[in-house]
Amino acid sequence: MEKKIILADLFYLPSLEFFTAIHGADLLVLEDRDTYQKQSYRNRSQIRLANKVETLSVPVLEGNKKVHYTEVNIDYSQKWKNVHLRGIQSSYGKAPFFEYYFPYFEQVFHRNIDKLYEFNLELLTVCLKLMRVKTQVTLASQVDESTSCEDIRGIIVTKESYKHREIYHPQPYTQLFGLDFVSNLSVIDLLFCEGPHANEVLAQSKKNK
């Protein structure tokens, strides 16, 4: 049986659309040869607060230049880290699986990793581990260019809704705030609320099952 290989961009605490897109992949190949793109999911993610959806954005130092993504440094002169951790705690502190999963994320934040790419990769690794998926992860620079794969680079963008793409069909699950389900938040929303059931929700969220 042929392996399912997906080539994708690396994002910050990626959305449910991203995880739906890579669901079931044997190998996830992450692009690491491109230049950094502003106003993308590379440094932003969305969580649900009590009365609104909050965008968490990681400030970077070289965001205005054409710098290789793997060389972009995080700006720790800004107090974003505490804002993000407090935001996640206030959003999900009462979620069923928060106390089990949060320390894994907190540990990555407290390492003060310099490079945005490395930081995002560490967080993605935690997400995959907590979802107990068997997908292996590697970098595009380490894969033969002739390798056959499904290429989803440049498809999941901030400028248009997931509704315009044929990837993600929201599968409601129990969230903490409000009666109306909010779709396509960061995967941490699903993890903290559903725990081990998260992978099953993703499987049901595929638009073309």
Tens digit of each residue's pLDDT (9 = 90 or more) over 177-208: 877 899 999 999 999 999 999 999 999 999 87
Q: What distance in Å separates the CA atoms of residue 92 and residue 51, rounded to the nearest whole number?
A: 13
Burial class (CB in 10 A: 0-12, 13-18, 19+), 109: middle
Question: pTM for the complete prediction?
Answer: 0.96
Residue 101 in this model has a pLDDT that exceeds 90: yes
Q: What distance in Å separates the CA atoms of residue 42 and residue 120, rounded to the nearest whole number?
A: 8
Q: What distance in Å separates the CA atoms of residue 137 and residue 122, rounded to the nearest whole number?
A: 11
User: pLDDT confidence of 209, banded at 50, 70, 90?
Assistant: low
Q: What distance in Å separates the CA atoms of residue 111 and residue 64, rounded to the nearest whole number?
A: 25
Domain ranges of the chain: 5-204
Residue 108 in this model has a pLDDT that exceeds 70: yes
pLDDT of amino acid 147: 85
